[in-house]
Structure 1
Amino acid sequence: MSATLPHVPPGSLIDGWQVSKPLGDGGFAFVFLGEKNGSQRAIKVAQHRESSGDPKQTHVRTLRELTALLMLDHPHIVRPQGYGLAESGNLYLALDYVDGWTLAEWAERKHPTVREILGVFEKIAGALAYMHRRGVLHRDLKLSNVLIRKSDGEPVIIDFSCATYTLAEDLTDGGLPPGTDRYRAPEQFKFLREHKDEHRARYAFQVADEIFAVGVMLHELLTDPRPTEFRPRFDLNSPALPPPPPRLANARVPAALSDLVENILARDPKGRPVDTEALRRELADLRAERSAEYDVPAHPPAEQRHGGTTPAALAVPSSPQSLKRHVALMERALRAGSWLAGVVCLVALVMAAALWRSSGSAPGGPAGSRDAAAPRPPPATTHSPPTETSPPAMTPAGPSFVKVPGPAIAAAPKEGSALKTPVPEASSPGRAPRLPKKSVAAIECASLSLVAALAAGCPGAQIRPEAFTCPAGAEEAMREQLHWKEGDSFSLQLDDRQASFDNVWFTAGAEVVGVVPKGVSDDRQDAVAPRGTRFYGKAYYLSDKMGRADGPALVIRYDRVKLPGQEEYPICFVHEGTVVAFKDGRVKASNRGSGTVVDRWP
């Protein structure tokens, strides 16, 4: 039986390869930078996954990864350079060492233009098309599994731990193949719901799933100035709500590119490009566009260094055009079936529209808007980014956000009364007209309506969790490897990054990392969830209007656990605690509590 590889300090040897530094570790392997005879390689040593139920899979899975890589020879796909046995008895692969940044790091460090991002994704799609023609599927595409080589800026797809190929043996016991949930296509979760009672049901991963993952990557780079930051994000594979168009979140995204990303992320696989070669051609066509809007950085570098802008879903629409885009997004939500959230959001937006009209900013209003006043950009003559980062006149400038101390209700005007529209003050040439105080108040009121709507369940606010089955493989892992029983209760510090005993603020929808602290004296917990055990999950807020007789609650769903010296396992573990306060999408509650092992999310 293969042993799990212990910590390997620099200078150690792995089958003659001298370890320089660790490069990372995941569910299936540890990766080190190794040197031998003047050559540098990424040494990937398999680690045993107890959840597999079969220690032989340690080698079988690594051999399958090696087989998949040996079928491929492409400049944008990592190449194998050998294999062998580590001193621990575990199989290792020697791979090309790519000295580079992940896609997320590259976006933050290099401030690429839209055209440069398209060029990278065109090459990624080309590599995937080559891979798919040979019957290989990666199955875990994400920002961290594509590196941009520092020496030449070329992308390289790495980490084929989850890859499969035609006629390969199925090594997964759960309903879904291995992968990262955020990048899974929505049809995978639909499959789980429809086959939750069929123990042997297995989802057949398709090229359409791979294309969806590319769409998630592209959406994240175009809409998030700081994609490496650990914070809550809109779930792009929600079965109820379609993802917001990239152009709605970032005015620098050209309309044609925004439309393409929406197609790639279509809920129906038939709405996506037919294959990765078709996707590559569409990306190439956009990259060849001569418009200057493709040659500005996708995000202002200042935002990427000092923090991103307000998420579009929380922003006040800055123009009638922006408001129309918000309304269109909510209408799609209604068509997608999330009628309650859509209705609430549309009501808020109708209020905002009325207030926009009252402020004189409706279509056909006073001339002198930014759209009309902005100069036309000169024709593009080079692909290099300009020294200044402000975009050409594509859409209005970014919206401002009004912080709200609590919910507010706007009183409707009395019947028969009219809202008077004051004339905007004159402004200096080149500036948009300044709105009078009453108009500003109207816009702020509209923002309050939007924030209130978000708290009721509009896009971007993950407040209430949906009832759903546990993660794939959780039931077996809890029973066979962790020896947990349904109803087991364990004490923990709910979020290790905050003060241990205090009441602290949790952001609804944000990730939390719990830990079992010192001083736990329960023998049962000490045996199966000892001190240092780490729980990974998300925080939610349930109000007393959501069917709770005991008042509002903080709910944390932990779906992964890592015991000291062991690997991660999928779990179903829930904490439910009393809320001290709720404000602006954040929940104040005690950071100490207990959780319960369940067989289904409540």
Structure 2
Amino acid sequence: MTATLFRLPSGAIVDGWHVSRELGNGGFAVVYLVEKSGKPYALKVARHREASGDDKRTHARMVREATILLMLNHPNIIRPQGHGYAETGNMYVALEYVDGWTLAEWKERKHPTIHEILRVFVKLASALSYMHERGVLHRDLKLVNVLIRKSNGEPVIIDFGCATYSLAEDLTEEGLPPGTERFRAPEQFKFLRDHKDEHRARYAFKVADEIFALGAMLYELLTDPRPTEHYRRMSLNNLLLPPPSASDVNTRIPEPLSELVEKLLSRNPSERPVDTDALRRELEEHLERSGAEYMVPPHAPSEQWPSGPSESEGLPVVPPRGPTPRNVTRKTLVVGAALVAALAAAVTFSRACGDVPAPLPDYPPLPMTPPPDMSHLNPAPMVLPLATDAGQKEGSTVKMTTPEDPSQGRPLRVQKRLSAAECAAMSLVAALAAGCPGSQIRPESFTCPSGAARAMVKELHWKEGDGFVFTLDDRHDDDGLIWFTPGSDVVGVVPKVEGLRRRQYEVAPPGTRFYGKVYYLSDKMGRADGPALIIRYDRVKLPGQDERPVCVVVEGRSYGFKDGRVQSGNTQTGYVVDRWP
């Protein structure tokens, strides 16, 4: 399917939006800088990747994001400018372009005072309160999803790809909703632990989760001199060991503010503010009472200059955490001493066991705000030209400029009109083919995901040929043979076991999750001269870190073949490669 690797080249025109360059890409979308009527905008285009598994679900996510954006109108929330379809039917949402820094970049480049940081968080809490009143939950609050405008210093919440609203259809097949591990509330991992044998159990995301994420963001800005750097950080959501207070980590942080942050990060959701409006009021009270100690940056600028990672053992150096902590109590020392031993157990919450904490409080449900009518976003008849000509009008669905065909001396042109019924029929045929017991799914050779090479070498410190032992499909037991369905998505996880090599503990520790897709080689079935099962993992999430693109391949021997499925061991070794086999 051509949409799998779909990219808009510079110079392409989509509904009058002139593509300048790619700004970034994520799991289900690519964002471009575009221009229209002389003004810059951002164009977010659905990315139907192989790893997404289901193009319909990818499309549904984009429809849901557009729906949510149309429900909101707030100066500190990104604003939509339009929506439609790009080439091959990929839905897009046009957004205002925010020329600014992420919160982490702003902290390092502008050296804001503690007072200025609090002013930003007052506005973020106000924007979240506005969202929550309308039944919208962002579900992926983190430092990179808030931009600070360079022109006026105003914060803007972006990326609603993981967001939901009170009447939205559930698009999640896993226990937890989409999000970033480091900013998840501890009760989410408790839920996984308590429901590890219930594959249909789904966590109900709450306002308390958003408050924890906001607290984690504030903690990072107050305690981390260089939040843009990638290195192993202390867990903020460990069920057993809460992080040390902000004032213990950084002596510049006033005690009252440190106590508020500790309250936001409480293991018990009932100890956090009751809602984001209450949080806004508490932050405003801190601003009103703030004195000279709030008028300094959390870290001296000299502490924030980047330093290169250590090449020793392939591990990055943890940057200094400011002056020597004050008020280092026995509790703090115990926490620090126990952290190394307990962290490995804590990051594998879905498999953990132990005492069950006190029941979680019930928060009132969000208001049932009906979404706007989005029926017009269903795929309509589309024209798929690959070039413009003099006869095309400004309002046509897609106009793309492509190189000329040297043999013909004129632009390449392909025009095919598909009705909505034809599109639906094609999707149904594709779905049936993928699920057909006799279907054969053989992987083709192509390059790794964009950014994978850099992420593996520079950020993860992996080397080509590195092997990691892990459970291939976390829905099944670690040991024994299981049946794999070609074409299906799988999530692998590094379990807490004895005997892992030291290097794996360092660069892919227990709790590391691999996201991939299953293939098989039909000509190797029942033979011993090569692998029959192929799993490509193209994303990874280390405990407490953001998701990154990777290239990891498992080649497993077949022990059975039935109804289009292949049987193989569930604990095997995946290898780092620079190209799919």
Return the TM-score normalized by structure 1.
Answer: 0.60
Deviations along 1:18-64, whole A, 9 cap, x unmatched?
11121111112100011122122100001125555532122211111
Find the aligned partners of 1:122 and 1:197 in 2 and give their Cα distance: 41
2:565 is aligned to: none
Find the aligned partners of 2:111 and 2:100 in 1 and give their Cα distance: 15
2:328 is aligned to: 323
- What amino acid does structure 2 have at the position aligned with 1:227? P
1:234 is aligned to: 234
1:41 equivalenced with 2:51 (yes/no): no
Q: Against the structure 1 CA distance between its residues 594 and 5, is the aligned structure 2 distance closer, same or farther, given a 3 Å change threshold?
A: closer
1:559 equivalenced with 2:562 (yes/no): no
More off after superposition, 42-51 vs 5-14: 5-14
1:386 is aligned to: none
CA apart distance, 1:463: 6.5
Give secondary structure in 1 for the equivalent of 2:32: strand
Q: 452, 457, 466: which is aligned to 2:341?
A: 457
Report the count of equivalent residues. 405
CA apart distance, 1:573: 11
2:401 is aligned to: none
Deviations along 1:252-283, whole A, 9 cap, x unmatched?
11111100000000001101111000111111
CA apart distance, 1:16: 2.9
CA apart distance, 1:561: 5.1
Q: Against the structure 1 CA distance between its residues 481 and 280, is the aligned structure 2 distance closer, same or farther, given a 3 Å change threshold?
A: farther
Give secondary structure in 2 for the equivalent of 1:81: strand
CA apart distance, 1:536: 11
1:310 is aligned to: 320
1:501 is aligned to: none
Find the aligned partners of 2:150 and 2:441 in 1 and give their Cα distance: 42
1:100 is aligned to: 100
CA apart distance, 1:104: 0.2
Q: Please say if residues 238 and 346 of structure 2, whose CA atoms lie closer than 8 Å, have aligned partners that are also in contact.
A: no
More off after superposition, 158-167 vs 550-559: 550-559
Q: Please say if residues 17 and 35 of structure 2, whose CA atoms lie closer than 8 Å, have aligned partners that are also in contact.
A: yes
Find the aligned partners of 1:285 and 1:93 in 2 and give their Cα distance: 38
Give secondary structure in 2 for the equivalent of 1:19: strand
Find the aligned partners of 2:55 and 2:7 in 1 and give their Cα distance: 20
Return the TM-score normalized by structure 2.
Answer: 0.62
Find the aligned partners of 2:36 and 2:147 in 1 and give their Cα distance: 23
Q: Please say if residues 192 and 349 of structure 2, whose CA atoms lie closer than 8 Å, have aligned partners that are also in contact.
A: no
Q: Please say if residues 493 and 515 of structure 1, whose CA atoms lie closer than 8 Å, have aligned partners that are also in contact.
A: no
1:182 is aligned to: 182
Deviations along 1:287-342, whole A, 9 cap, x unmatched?
12241000011110111125585347xx9x66xx5333xx23356x5xxxxxxxx8
Q: Please say if residues 512 and 537 of structure 1, whose CA atoms lie closer than 8 Å, have aligned partners that are also in contact.
A: no
Give secondary structure in 2 for the equivalent of 1:177: coil
Q: Against the structure 1 CA distance between its residues 594 and 201, is the aligned structure 2 distance closer, same or farther, given a 3 Å change threshold?
A: closer
Find the aligned partners of 1:224 and 1:242 in 2 and give their Cα distance: 17
1:199 is aligned to: 199
Q: Please say if residues 239 and 346 of structure 2, whose CA atoms lie closer than 8 Å, have aligned partners that are also in contact.
A: no
- What amino acid does structure 2 have at the position aligned with 1:96? E
Q: Against the structure 1 CA distance between its residues 595 and 126, is the aligned structure 2 distance closer, same or farther, given a 3 Å change threshold?
A: farther
2:392 is aligned to: none
Q: Against the structure 1 CA distance between its residues 516 and 483, is the aligned structure 2 distance closer, same or farther, given a 3 Å change threshold?
A: farther
Q: Against the structure 1 CA distance between its residues 470 and 572, is the aligned structure 2 distance closer, same or farther, given a 3 Å change threshold?
A: farther
CA apart distance, 1:551: 8.9
- What amino acid does structure 2 have at the position aligned with 1:301? P
Deviations along 1:65-124, whole A, 9 cap, x unmatched?
111111110000001110111013100000111010000000000000000000000000
Q: Against the structure 1 CA distance between its residues 60 and 567, is the aligned structure 2 distance closer, same or farther, given a 3 Å change threshold?
A: farther
CA apart distance, 1:513: 4.4
Q: Please say if residues 5 and 49 of structure 2, whose CA atoms lie closer than 8 Å, have aligned partners that are also in contact.
A: no
Q: What are the equivalent positions in structure 2 for 1:591-602 lying under 5 Å apart?
A: 598=570
Q: Against the structure 1 CA distance between its residues 46 and 243, is the aligned structure 2 distance closer, same or farther, given a 3 Å change threshold?
A: same
Give secondary structure in 1 for the equivalent of 2:192: helix
Q: What are the equivalent positions in structure 2 for 1:294-373 lying under 5 Å apart?
A: 294-307=294-307, 310-311=320-321, 322-324=327-329, 327-330=330-333, 345=337
Find the aligned partners of 1:24 and 1:493 in 2 and give their Cα distance: 16
Deviations along 1:430-476, whole A, 9 cap, x unmatched?
xxxxxxxxxxxxxxxxxxxxxxx77x637xxx5677655489xxxxx
Find the aligned partners of 1:182 and 1:199 in 2 and give their Cα distance: 23
- What amino acid does structure 2 have at the position aligned with 1:247? S
Q: Against the structure 1 CA distance between its residues 470 and 193, is the aligned structure 2 distance closer, same or farther, given a 3 Å change threshold?
A: closer
Q: What are the equivalent positions in structure 2 for 1:378-527 lying under 5 Å apart?
A: 457=341, 467-469=348-350, 496-497=456-457, 511-513=460-462, 515=464
Q: What are the equivalent positions in structure 2 for 1:13-32 lying under 5 Å apart?
A: 13-32=13-32
Larger Rg computed on CA atoms: 1
Find the aligned partners of 1:493 and 1:78 in 2 and give their Cα distance: 31
Find the aligned partners of 1:593 and 1:311 in 2 and give their Cα distance: 38
1:477 is aligned to: none
- What amino acid does structure 1 have at the position aligned with 2:332? L
Find the aligned partners of 1:223 and 1:514 in 2 and give their Cα distance: 31
CA apart distance, 1:14: 2.8
- What amino acid does structure 2 have at the position aligned with 1:164? T
CA apart distance, 1:198: 1.1
Q: Against the structure 1 CA distance between its residues 468 and 114, is the aligned structure 2 distance closer, same or farther, given a 3 Å change threshold?
A: closer
Bigger relative contact order (CA 8 A; separation at least 6): 2
CA apart distance, 1:515: 4.7
Find the aligned partners of 2:114 and 2:5 in 1 and give their Cα distance: 42
- What amino acid does structure 1 have at the position aligned with 2:514? R
Deviations along 1:99-150, whole A, 9 cap, x unmatched?
1000000000000000000000000000000000000000000000000000
Deviations along 1:373-428, whole A, 9 cap, x unmatched?
xxxxxxxxxxxxxxxxxxxxxxxxxxxxxxxxxxxxxxxxxxxxxxxxxxxxxxxx
1:253 is aligned to: 253
Find the aligned partners of 1:567 and 1:32 in 2 and give their Cα distance: 27
Find the aligned partners of 2:440 and 2:15 in 1 and give their Cα distance: 30
Find the aligned partners of 1:593 and 1:30 in 2 and give their Cα distance: 25
CA apart distance, 1:481: 12
Q: Against the structure 1 CA distance between its residues 552 and 13, is the aligned structure 2 distance closer, same or farther, given a 3 Å change threshold?
A: closer
- Unpaired segments of 5 or more residues in structure 2? 308-317, 353-438, 444-451, 467-483, 485-490, 518-534, 544-551, 557-568, 574-581
Q: Please say if residues 58 and 90 of structure 1, whose CA atoms lie closer than 8 Å, have aligned partners that are also in contact.
A: no
Find the aligned partners of 1:551 and 1:569 in 2 and give their Cα distance: 23
Find the aligned partners of 2:209 and 2:218 in 1 and give their Cα distance: 14
2:416 is aligned to: none
2:135 is aligned to: 135
Find the aligned partners of 1:494 and 1:32 in 2 and give their Cα distance: 21
CA apart distance, 1:237: 0.5
Give secondary structure in 2 for the equivalent of 1:83: strand
Q: Against the structure 1 CA distance between its residues 59 and 497, is the aligned structure 2 distance closer, same or farther, given a 3 Å change threshold?
A: closer
Q: Against the structure 1 CA distance between its residues 71 and 599, is the aligned structure 2 distance closer, same or farther, given a 3 Å change threshold?
A: farther
Find the aligned partners of 1:11 and 1:44 in 2 and give their Cα distance: 16
Root mean square deviation, CA, Å: 4.0
Q: Please say if residues 470 and 571 of structure 1, whose CA atoms lie closer than 8 Å, have aligned partners that are also in contact.
A: no
How high is the sequence identity, in percent, across the aligned residues?
52
2:168 is aligned to: 168
- What amino acid does structure 2 have at the position aligned with 1:168? A
Find the aligned partners of 2:296 and 2:172 in 1 and give their Cα distance: 44
Find the aligned partners of 1:56 and 1:77 in 2 and give their Cα distance: 27
2:386 is aligned to: none
Find the aligned partners of 2:254 and 2:202 in 1 and give their Cα distance: 39
Q: Against the structure 1 CA distance between its residues 230 and 81, is the aligned structure 2 distance closer, same or farther, given a 3 Å change threshold?
A: same
Find the aligned partners of 2:189 and 2:215 in 1 and give their Cα distance: 17
1:280 is aligned to: 280
Q: Against the structure 1 CA distance between its residues 52 and 553, is the aligned structure 2 distance closer, same or farther, given a 3 Å change threshold?
A: closer
